[in-house]
Amino acid sequence: MAIEKLRFGRTGHMSTRTLFGAASLGGVTQAEADQTLDVLLKYGVNHIDTAASYGHSEERIGPWMKRGLRDQFFLATKTGERTYAKAKEEFLRSLERLNVDSVDLIQLHYLVGEEEWEVAMGEGGVLEYLLEAKEQGLVKYIGVTGHDVAIAEMHRRSLERYDFDSVLLPYNYLMMKNPIYADGFNTVLEMAKERDIPVQTIKSITRRPYPSDRRTHSTWYEPLADRDSINKAVSWVLGQPGIFLNTVGDIHLLPMVLEAASNAGPRPSDEEMDKVVAHWDMEPLFV
């Protein structure tokens, strides 16, 4: 069953509702990355979301672009730099790593802190450079991303300062049980609808913060890892009309997430989700 496609806001691109979160390529070999490409093509995923800070991710995607696959993907990356000069240096390096002359979307990565927000948005900041890069044809669209409970409010402020072309923030059942975050998320969602801005969501299959230093997956949080709970978590996220789900930072869990998306059913009820939460001792990742 094909994954549903949805217009990616004002860009007009018909993106699969599950966007490939390429943080999962940060620590893998090129052979493993190429196997992951086969999985993406199998499910028809046509949108890649990476970042300069995702380890070797951009370098792993570069050979795909050399193979003539550039036109098959909406290609997005991110810069974590806050000043004009450093953002320019990082973005040009991203283009080189990706083996492309331009990308579709560049995003201000994890823009949450008050002081860095002022730098990024001010004179000599990263936004100033990205607007220049847009004029030069190096990028078509500019977005903003972030984590934490505070990000919903910061996104609201960012959208008031500049008319960004996309936003990205966490969204899952437990996050939306936090009334402060839920209110902020819904405010951002309403602003996005009014402006035709696509809303990308992350952390769909989060179980909890890792309870110890032991890691079972390459994600920096402990994920849900069984098929049934992943199916429910993914169906719950996709049950919110009009939003996109960025996959997962582990290539071994990716097929289950894509399979869940391709067979997403009705949104599970609160009662069903509460059973998943209790069974897996789930905890909010951000408080």
Strand partners, 108: 79, 144
Give the residue-averaged pLDDT of 266-287: 97
> CB of 40 within 8 A of CB of 18?
no
pLDDT at 105: 98
Summarize the confidence of residues 175-188 as an average pLDDT: 97
Calculate what percentage of the chain has a pLDDT beyond 70.
100
pLDDT of residue 234: 98
Long-range contacts of 110-118 (CB under 8 A, 24+ apart): 110/80, 110/145, 110/146, 110/147, 111/144, 111/145, 111/146, 111/154, 111/158, 112/146, 112/147, 112/148, 112/150, 112/151, 112/154, 116/82, 117/154, 117/157, 117/158
Task: Identify the domain containing residue 167 by its residue range.
Answer: 5-279
Residue 285 lies in a domain: no
Q: What number is the average pLDDT over the span 245-269?
A: 97
In a domain, 28, yes or no: yes
Mean pLDDT of 232-244: 98
Between CA 248 and CA 230 the distance in angstroms is 11
The mean pLDDT of the chain is 97
Q: How far is CA 279 from CA 45, 189, 228, 275, in A?
A: 31, 30, 12, 6
pLDDT at 247: 98
Q: Model-level pTM?
A: 0.98
pLDDT for 2 equals 85
CA distance 41 to 37: 6
Question: Is position 197 within any domain?
Answer: yes
Query: What are 257's two structure tokens?
Result: 């997430």
pLDDT digits (tens, 9 = 90+) for 121-151: 999 999 999 999 999 999 999 999 999 999 9
Would 167 be classed as within a structural domain?
Answer: yes
Looking at residue 99, its pLDDT comes to 98
Look up residue 235 and give its two tokens.
Answer: 């169906």
Summarize the confidence of residues 86-102 as an average pLDDT.
98
What is the H or E stretch that residue 38 is in?
helix 30-43
Answer yes or no: are the C-beta atoms of 154 and 136 closer than 8 Å: no
Arithmetic mean of pLDDT, 3-11: 98
**Alpha-carbon span 33 to 63, nearest angstrom:** 10
pLDDT digits (tens, 9 = 90+) for 183-214: 999 999 999 999 999 999 999 999 999 999 99
- Residue 59 structure tokens: 């370098």
> H/E element holding 233?
helix 227-238
What is the CA 191 to chain-centroid distance, rounded?
19
Short-list 184, 280, 146, 267, CA closest to 225: 280
Model pLDDT, residue 225: 97
Strand residue runs (E) in the chain: 5-7, 14-16, 18-21, 47-49, 74-79, 103-108, 139-145, 166-170, 199-202, 206-208, 222-223, 243-246
**286 within domain boundaries:** no
Total structural domains within the chain: 1
Whether the pLDDT of residue 1 is over 90: the answer is no
Domain containing residue 15: CATH number:
3.20.20.100
